[in-house]
Amino acid sequence: MRQKVSGSYTRAGTARRCGRGLALEIAGVEYYITPEDLPSLMSERPADVVNGMGDKEGSAWLSPVIQQKKQELTALIQNRLYVLSLKDISRLQYGIRNIVKIHEYNHG
């Protein structure tokens, strides 16, 4: 019998647009994807995730969920995977929402 690998998502924090780019608040700590790095994401290159001092804490990239189309932003911060949908990022960018949820991916 084959086992199916599954994962689950739990709420981990929030994301918002700010003067430093995209602010990710996770477990009371703020991380940022700087405005300079946001365009690199759209050209399918990874971006640095930095802390308030500008020190690198991880990486972020666009990744597909099921199809080849990029549908989410995935961030690897301190060996944990966090996910934010591109739909939510667009809502932040266009001012439709001020804050959106970040989920942590927990593999089975």
The pLDDT averaged over each successive group of 10 residues in the chain (108 residues) is 69 93 94 90 87 94 69 91 91 92 88
Report the pLDDT value the prediction gives residue 93, as an integer from 0 to 100: 85
Domain residue limits at 51: 10-107
Q: How many domains does the chain have?
A: 1
2 occurs within a structural domain:
no
1 occurs within a structural domain:
no
Cα torsion 77, 101, 107, 37 to 10°: value is -40
Report the pLDDT value the prediction gives residue 4, as an integer from 0 to 100: 57
96 occurs within a structural domain:
yes
66 occurs within a structural domain:
yes
4 occurs within a structural domain:
no
Report the pLDDT value the prediction gives residue 63, as an integer from 0 to 100: 81
